[in-house]
Amino acid sequence: MTKPPSRRLPILAMLPVLIGGLALDGAPTLARPRADGALFGQPVIRTLTLPADMRPQSATYTPSGRILLTYARPGESDPRQINLAIMDDDGSHIRPIFSGTIPARPKDNGIRYMVFADNKRIFLGDFVIECPTSLDDCTQAQLVPVTYPPQVADGAHIWHRWSEMVVAPDNRHIAWTTLLANYSAAVLTGELTRGPDGYVVTRPQIISSSDPFRPDPAHADGVIPAPIRGGEVKQFVHGGSALSLVGAVKRDLPDSVVMDLASGKVTPITDTPGYTETTIFSPDERLGMVMTTRFSQTDPAILGLMPRPYPDSLNMGLSMFAYTYAVTGVRTARPGNVGPALIDIARSQREDGYLGANLSSQADWVFHSPMSWHPDSRRATWIEGLRGSETKRVQIVTLPGYKAGPAVAPRAVPDSLPYGDTDLSTLPALAGKSQNIDVKVYGRRSGHIQYRRTSGAIEKIYVDFSDDGKQVYSGRETTQINMRGQSSYEADIRLTGPKPGIMKLQMTFGPLGGPKPAAIDFTPQADGQPRSRGFAEYGGQRLSVDRLAP
């Protein structure tokens, strides 16, 4: 699918962690430290062999353990002209099942390929491809439209009706992220109901937070930040009772989280200082494939090394620069990688600094979504693109030493959510809300934070702020935003207490578009100092901005 350019719109600190070894079929073994007793053993990576006239665009494992390949033929360049084939993951037994042009619709966001658990249907976002029996023996695939609720489908308040969408194991429930015109987003769930003219999304409800602040009863001029539900959806997990999403844990750059649907409780899956976004769980839910910059020389970990209070509701808007610099820029021109990483879910949740294994195997090839797992939990696949080109390939990792557990059984998807909002008429008002925020958050033990945000600037001032009476924040950080020109981030923050930290940092980013998007500007200012300079220090680590590529 095509990612919107400004949607959230990570040199790696050497952490004291051992990661799994890695080998390539048909290529030299990569030198990677081997983790003692690693759950998944030594991964083996290979490239899916395809006929010369099939140019891969996307690939995903199906519930039957085969590969659904999206490909282009020679001379085809229209991204909405798609060809689909089913094959074994050694490239054999190729069976084309669909070829055609997917109609464009206002406010759509490209095409995704989410295979239903029944192995008969593929959710494209605005359409479903149906087969009467199974994808494995499909001969008469049919393209069927999907109708969204009118408040989501179109309107001045909608930017894209969906950014990501996922299907639950029950073959009925879906979840998606709607991007609003003011660059905010809402996460919704619903049911896909088949009618005579296609599918209709029924029983929709908003499950993301609409207001991150509530009044502080102890301070008339203060607010209390509420935990934020929502984020870009990635996968139904725990049998369908929860969602894997992009979220904020304790840093200003994103991590991966899981939200329990019944309670709305959010649980961290990763905690890294750089840019970590997607976790796709294995069927036994013991392993994860993660889109991350943690192994890259362009990892913007300096921005997230020192945790700051309330990074979800009082964030500094740094994700758009981190994503554009370390993901978009690496895909187009900048050296580096976006993983993926293979992780042990339990270790990722309990061990500080845990990284997992780097599955990026060649410097010029960069991860692209999607990622998916074979039903045996011992194989996974993803797409890589040759940097700066349209050439793509399908990568497969095998875990010969991994003893997989049973796949997590499907569970009922909760429908009655105490926090869910079934009144979609609130969406236009949500999109129309001003982005101007000016709030004061008092520490539970001392001080306060003054937070101001407009469409072009963010300021966060710490005045001896402490929630626990031990860790105390003082100082100031600011972000100046100009997506078509130069943007800047400055931090002068000191954290005192048992685990001290300091940020003395100035970074200037170039335009988010162009051949080197969000380039870090090291040219001298009038006083001779570079426009990007300084460091962050926390937990025994010190990262300097001059170690990052421009």
HEC profile for 310-355?
Answer: CCCCCCCCCHHHHHHHHHHHHHHCCCCCCCCEEEEHHHHHHCCCCC
Q: For the full predicted model, state whether its pTM sits above 0.95.
A: no
d(CA 378, CA 399): 5
* Residue 30 in this model has a pLDDT that exceeds 50: no
In sequence order, the β-bridge partners of residue 70 are 58, 84
What's the farthest any 2 CA atoms get from each other in the chain? Answer: 71
* Residue 5 in this model has a pLDDT that exceeds 90: no
pLDDT band per the 50, 70, 90 thresholds, residue 430: confident
d(CA 261, CA 144): 29
Q: Give yes or no for a contact between 246 and 278, defined as CB atoms under 8 angstroms apart.
A: yes
pLDDT band per the 50, 70, 90 thresholds, residue 433: confident
Residue 183: predicted pLDDT: 83
Residues in the chain: 550
- DSSP assignment of 88-116, as one string? -TTS-S-EEEEEEEPPP-TT------EE-
Give the mean pLDDT of 489-518: 97
CA distances from 393 to 58, 169, 226, 365, 520 (A): 9, 28, 43, 9, 30
Q: Give yes or no for a contact between 439 and 223, defined as CB atoms under 8 angstroms apart.
A: yes
Q: Which residues contact 265 (CB under 8 A, 6 or more apart)?
A: 259
Give the mean pLDDT of 233-259: 96
**CA dihedral (260, 263, 264, 269) positive or negative:** negative
User: What whole-number percentage of the chain has pLDDT above 70?
Assistant: 93
pLDDT band per the 50, 70, 90 thresholds, residue 12: very low
Residue 2: predicted pLDDT: 36
User: What whole-number percentage of the chain has pLDDT above 90?
Assistant: 88
**H or E element that contains 26:** none
Residue 23: predicted pLDDT: 31
d(CA 267, CA 259): 6
| Of the candidates 506, 438, 446, the residue with the CA atom closest to the CA atom of residue 470 | 446
Per-residue pLDDT tens digits for 148-173: 999 999 999 999 999 999 999 999 99
* Residue 455 in this model has a pLDDT that exceeds 90: no
Residue 27: predicted pLDDT: 32
Residue 431: predicted pLDDT: 84
Per-residue pLDDT tens digits for 511-542: 999 999 999 999 999 999 999 999 999 999 99
Residue 211: predicted pLDDT: 86
Residue 3: predicted pLDDT: 38
- Which residues in 467-550 belong to E strands, given as ranges? 472-480, 487-496, 501-509, 533-538, 541-544
pLDDT band per the 50, 70, 90 thresholds, residue 31: very low
Residue 243: predicted pLDDT: 98
**H or E element that contains 277:** strand 276-281
Query: Which residue in this structure is represented by tokens 């997590």?
Result: 408
Q: Is 433 left (phi over 0), alpha (psi -120 to 50) or beta?
A: beta
In sequence order, the β-bridge partners of residue 290 are 279, 341
* Residue 473 in this model has a pLDDT that exceeds 60: yes
Q: Where are the domains of the chain?
A: 44-295+337-430, 436-547
> What is the third-level CATH fold of 44-295+337-430?
Neuraminidase (2.120.10)
* Residue 20 in this model has a pLDDT that exceeds 50: no
| Of the candidates 491, 455, 401, 538, the residue with the CA atom closest to the CA atom of residue 184 | 455
Q: Would you call 153 helix, strand, or coil by DSSP?
A: helix
pLDDT band per the 50, 70, 90 thresholds, residue 26: very low
